[in-house]
Amino acid sequence: MRELHPWEKSYPASLHHYEITPELLAGNLTQFAAQGAQQYPDSDAFSMVLPNGLKHSLTFKQIDDLSTAFSRFLVAQGLQRGDVVAIQLPTCLHYPIAVLGAWKAGLIVTNMNPLYTAREVALQIQDSNAKLLIAADLFANSIKPIVEGSGLQLVLTSMGDFFPEPIASAIGQHLGVNLELGDVQYHTFTEALSSGENLPQVERELHPVALYQYTGGTTGRSKGAPLTHSNLLAVLEMAQAYVNAYDIKMEPGEIILTALPLYHIFAFNFNFLLFYKLGGCNVLVPNPRPLSNIKPAFEQFKIGWMTGVDTLYAGLLAEPWFAQKPLHLKYVVSGGTALRPSTATQWQKRICPILEGYGLTETSCFVSLNPPTDKVQLGYVGLPLPACEVRIVDEQGQELPAGQAGEIAVRGPHVITEYLNQPEETAANMRDGWFFTGDMAIMDERGFLQIVDRKKDIILVSGFNVYPNEVEGIIAEHQDVVEVAVIGRPDKNTGEAVHAYICSRNPELTAEAVIEHCRQYLTGYKVPKHIEFRDELPKSPVGKILRAQLRDPQPEHTATAVATTERPLAVSQALAHWHKMVAQGDLSTLPSILHSDAVFRSPVAHTPYPGAPVVALILNTVAQVFTDFTYLRELATDDGLNVVLEFSAQVKGKQLKGIDMIRFDAEGKIVEFEVMIRPLNALQALAEEMAQRLAPYLAGK
């Protein structure tokens, strides 16, 4: 019998020499649908809760039946075993039906962020060779250029699909769905389900690959990771065995809050697949921003588990409605980005233990997880899961002793063996059966992992390594700091210098105060040389701060209305007028209309964030009044802020059609103002449309 690894010695005895059996790896993920329908037919598997408290649930039996109907529809569309179906949906009830239906039809799924630009969608469709796209009607207009003439089949979902009339129509109207697809042919999701129910069942051998899951691509081209059914079955079994070994039984009926997007591997595996396998219920929140959107879920369900990232957990602690501890919350799991000790400590004290883990797309989400005990291991991402091997290696690939920092290499039944269509990346990252992650870490004598940083993010100051995570952790401990990101900038004297970007809750916080704080806890070369204060930091859709966009503030994949070089004339006039007023500094006579959520308030004198509501600028120019603009700092994504404004206005007696959320009195003063937040890549198009409508009014001034 082999010697135990250090982390295995830290396990409960039941996990010593744990192995994944070949019989388990021979299965497939569709078996969960049949098992759930048989064992828990009338229990809720998925419940979707909207911000206004409306909800709808689907049982295990319904999920099995509907996914079978959808699989028949997919086969009837001519899709062959091994073809790829792209899913571009928010977190909604359609998601599990679409995924399971595709798998039952022997197809491969590729998940896509609904906020992707048309360019990003086209790249993934091309690289994965997807034959059919399932998308929300909210985003359909932005993908029209991709579908036209491409042969790509299209199925459109609606957020109101599972609600009865007239609620379904009201939801569509509230969201402002206005399809302008021209000659593009498509099926609705409800049509697909109805037709599938009347089609014969086609027995088809499942394809071994379950997912082409793409990495974030925050630095360069995204890489497709082919995750097999065996990979995913293995990691689910490993995670369940690990948690159960600590006598924390994850049993049927457990309820988990799913506020993270299901297209992300973290929520896809831990929330969707693991709790579906266990007979638990996923409570789906389509859009967790503002955080008050999550409140109805806690009010209506006995939520025992949730997943999230540091920014989500820190934000909830600051929410007044969350001040009273949710009575049923037992554990929350953090991943995707470093968990600040201050966040973990407050959760442990006020709410429940927060378990930090570590994983990547290439490892089916999981490498390690902190044990589910009352003793939180602050600063650690836990022990490697059973059946997962981890080595810390130097630049030559040689294993390092405990306590030394090096690159994490991973091996196990849950790890991919190649990247899709990228042999050079495969050769560079997968060697001798090991996946080299590019992440730097230390493993202590117990086998606990401590992430140091991304290899590429390390800052070299006068030959000394500076790890941004360490510096960020110290700065985050300052009472006035809300968020922080640290990168390296070229420096003629030291090669690189530490540069910190800070969001502060105190406008009087100075760079000198931050530097003095750092000097108390960091050696000299680690102390930031430059401090820059920001209203917000760029984030991924799951809330991970994107250092790459701070290093390169205008990456090629970022496109916002304000940053574009070709603006409609009316937009340019409005922006010029706005900047002129700000420069004058006399804003005392201008009305200040604030959004109801303080998170989204921003002083009117602030310089607009790239992607600020251009349409509002146009209207304000027309009406000669200004509002306190909403910048939606929590909704920044790779392609900028994606906001749609709906408004109604009457300017000097002239009715503007199709506008219903801003109202003026007879003197042109704003009497009502509301911003509807939408996850749409439509800001530029809407600005151009509004500019054309308002050109006559601008010309008349």
The pLDDT of residue 442 is 95
Position with higher pLDDT, 173 vs 615: 173
Average of pLDDT values for 671-700?
41
Position with higher pLDDT, 576 vs 206: 206
Average of pLDDT values for 186-203?
93
CATH architecture of the domain covering 458-551: 2-Layer Sandwich (3.30)
pLDDT in tens, 99-144: 999 999 999 999 998 877 787 888 899 999 999 999 999 888 888 8
State the chain's mean pLDDT as an integer: 79
146 neighbors 124 (Cβ within 8 angstroms): no
The pLDDT of residue 543 is 76
The pLDDT of residue 692 is 53
Cβ count within 10 A of residue 606: 13
Sorted by sequence, the CB contacts under 8 Å of residue 82 that are 6+ apart come out as 106, 107, 108, 207, 209
Average of pLDDT values for 179-197?
91
- The residue written with tokens 């870490």 in the block is 441
Q: How many residues does the chain have?
A: 701
226 neighbors 211 (Cβ within 8 angstroms): yes
Position with higher pLDDT, 113 vs 445: 445
What token pair was written down for 347? 């959760």
Q: Which band of pLDDT confidence, cut at 50, 70 and 90, is reported for residue 491?
A: confident
Average of pLDDT values for 498-509?
92
The pLDDT of residue 326 is 73
Query: Could you tell me the pTM of the whole model?
Result: 0.72
Q: Any bridge partners for residue 484, and if so which?
A: 502
pLDDT of 634 above 50: no
Cβ count within 10 A of residue 479: 9
The pLDDT of residue 359 is 94
pLDDT of 554 above 60: no
Point out the least confidently predicted range of 245-259, 418-432, 552-566, 567-581: 552-566
- The residue written with tokens 């990346």 in the block is 425
The pairing of beta strand 530-533 with beta strand 495-504:
parallel
Q: Which band of pLDDT confidence, cut at 50, 70 and 90, is reported for residue 657?
A: very low
Residue 122 burial by Cβ neighbours in a 10 Å radius (0-12, 13-18, 19+)? middle
Q: In degrees rounded to 5, what are phi and psi of residue 667?
A: -90, 5
50 neighbors 247 (Cβ within 8 angstroms): no
Q: In degrees rounded to 5, what are phi and psi of residue 570?
A: -65, -35
**In angstroms, rounded to a whole number, what is the distance separating the alpha carbons of residues 275 and 96?**
12
**In angstroms, rounded to a whole number, what is the distance separating the alpha carbons of residues 357 and 329?**
18
pLDDT of 23 above 60: yes
Sorted by sequence, the CB contacts under 8 Å of residue 497 that are 6+ apart come out as 459, 461, 488, 489, 490, 491, 529, 530
Peptide bond before residue 166 is cis, with ω within 30 degrees of 0: yes
Average of pLDDT values for 613-630?
36
- List Cα–Cα distances, 522 to 146, 299, 370, 460, 526, in angstroms: 51, 44, 27, 15, 6
What residue segments make up the domains of the chain, in order of their start? 458-551, 569-699
Sorted by sequence, the CB contacts under 8 Å of residue 637 that are 6+ apart come out as 113, 115, 539, 540, 541
**In angstroms, rounded to a whole number, what is the distance separating the alpha carbons of residues 17 and 5?**
9
Closest alpha carbon to 580 in 572, 569, 568, 592: 572
Rama region for 396: left / alpha / beta (φ>0; ψ in -120 to 50; rest)? alpha
Sorted by sequence, the CB contacts under 8 Å of residue 443 that are 6+ apart come out as 6, 7, 390, 392, 402, 403, 449, 450
**In angstroms, rounded to a whole number, what is the distance separating the alpha carbons of residues 531 and 546?**
17
Q: What is the 3-state secondary structure (H, E, C) of 111-135?
A: ECCCCCCHHHHHHHHHHHCEEEEEE
> What are the helix (H) ranges across 629-675?
none
pLDDT of 400 above 80: yes
Average of pLDDT values for 155-163?
94
